[in-house]
Amino acid sequence: MPELPALGTRVVVRYSLPAGYSHPVTDVIGTLEGTDPVAVRSADGRVVQIGRDTVVAVRALGPRPIRTSEIRALEVAAAQAWPGLESTWVDGWLARYGSGITGRANSATPLGMPGELAPLTGDTLARLDAWYAERGLPLRLLVPDRLSPGAPGWQPEEEPVVVLAADLDLVPLPTSHTTTVLPEPDASWLSLFDRRGADDDLRALLTATLGRGPRIGELAFVRIGDGPSPLAIARAAVTTAPDGRVWVGLQSVAVAPEHRRRGVGTLVCGEALRWGRERGATHAYLQVTEGNAAARAMYSAMGFTEHHRYRYHRRVR
């Protein structure tokens, strides 16, 4: 049998059919999910199982193109998981305010459906400016790939943020015997979090979601290690995208400096993803800056691949 690529690879598999079919061989295109028998999940979700002795040829393909509607759906799920302290819709733009803590919670992003999303000029821009001015912040835009060109005369910031995604069926989930999963952050968890802003605002931001539906919108604060100084932490949130897909998002992943590059980050992510899968999530996502090579390598080894990117935009003065 031809050599198979790694699980999770998009492939085309040619295999022979039993006697009596009108043609001797056929092909299936999809994601490789098993090797004995060979299992390929096609784009419609159907899994085709193929006997190893019938495989004629296997060819690895590049990543499946991501549709614009899929980018919007994932961004909506991510916004539900990190909505800030206040939010409002302005002509198809979701504006979030989070007391200045993180860019995602303090920016406006174009998540309205086509036909609902207004160009960022005139009255729309003025209303967003006014909403943020009332809260003591300048307007900042978060613009995902292909959803909007942003505002005329605005400048994208240099480093993009890469949104990585994975099918949870294809992600190995290592376990740790010193894991604690909390419904809200305690002092030990917060000791490793990059603390900015007042404690009350920080706790409110970390525990806010906009998820809806049974068991959707749940949160977990995962900690590896006992005692006041954890080895690693992560926040996990389960939300449902407009297309019905249930996602678990990883945020605030941090490893104590003295424990980095020892696999602890993989452990805390694995525990958070397992928690999400137990609550109905089928897919996972996270955001990482393009230049964070160490984190991207770790997530790639876990099975995450690039879904899309976004950039922050600021007004040119």
Q: What is the pLDDT of residue 17?
A: 92
Q: What per-residue confidence (pLDDT) applies to 293?
A: 92
Task: Summarize the confidence of residues 243-248 as an average pLDDT.
Answer: 95
Select, from the ranges 41-55, 133-147, 223-237, the one with the highest average predicted confidence (pLDDT): 133-147
Which one-letter amino acid corresponds to residue 279?
R
Q: Give the C-alpha distances (Å, rounded to integers) separating 20 from 15, 17, 26, 192.
A: 15, 8, 14, 64
* DSSP letter string, 130-166: HHHHTTT----EEEETTT----TTEEE-SSPEEEEEE
Residues 6+ positions from 133 with CB-CB distance below 8 Å: none
Nearest to 237 by CA among 254, 260, 253: 253
CATH fold of 164-309, please? Aminopeptidase (3.40.630)
CB atoms within 10 A of CB 215: 13
- What is the value of pTM for the model shown? 0.83
Task: Output the CA–CA distances (angstroms, integers) from residue 220 to 166, 233, 272, in the order listed.
Answer: 19, 10, 7
Mean confidence (pLDDT) of the chain: 90
- pLDDT of residue 211 exceeding 70, the answer is no
For residue 213, the model assigns a pLDDT of 47
The domain locations on the chain are 9-60, 68-157, 164-309
Looking at residue 195, its pLDDT comes to 60
